[in-house]
Amino acid sequence: MSDNAMVFVVWPDGRFEEMEGGFENLRRLYDGGPFDFVQDNRESHVIGAYIDDEGMLNGALFNVPASIVLGRPIYGTVALCAAYPDDDGNTLPAPVEMVKAARGSAKVWAFIRAQAESMGQSLDLIADPSTIPPARIIPW
């Protein structure tokens, strides 16, 4: 991964920011824990993301904005990028329209969470580890 590749980070609470990717920055983002790369569930694979590899096991919160953009349930912090690397294998930035969608989803989710919290409600969701299916390796 190129050290200057920009990724769009979305936290489960709706916060977001753009940051330089790079392996060391991603390691810090995931507190040194394992992270993995996934693509969205569209047939054309429009967007990719680095995710907490153990988010469904370690109590990470359900990330509503990232799940909307990726079309799959995602737990924990997400760093959005292009679905495919460049010819040298470097991560590329996420498509602009997908970043706009993620930013909009994150803003709305943060607003909804704030409204719920102001009424004493929690919208935090975590995975039930006993229902997690075994990992699958999907060939390229």
Model confidence at 3: pLDDT above 60: no
| 66-77 residue pLDDT tens | 999 999 999 999
Of the chain, the end-to-end C-alpha distance in Å amounts to: 18
d(CA 140, CA 138): 7
CB 29 within 8 A of CB 21: no
Q: Which residue has the tokens 């498509």?
A: 95
pLDDT over 70, % of the chain = 96
pLDDT tier at 140, thresholds 50, 70, 90: low
Confidence of residue 4 (pLDDT cuts 50, 70, 90): low
pLDDT in tens, 95-134: 999 999 999 999 999 999 999 999 999 999 999 888 887 7
Q: What pLDDT, on a 0 to 100 scale, did the predictor assign at position 13?
A: 97
**What is the reported pLDDT for 129?**
84
Ranges of each domain in the chain: 6-131
Residue 18: phi, psi to the nearest 5? -95, 140
pLDDT recorded at residue 121: 97
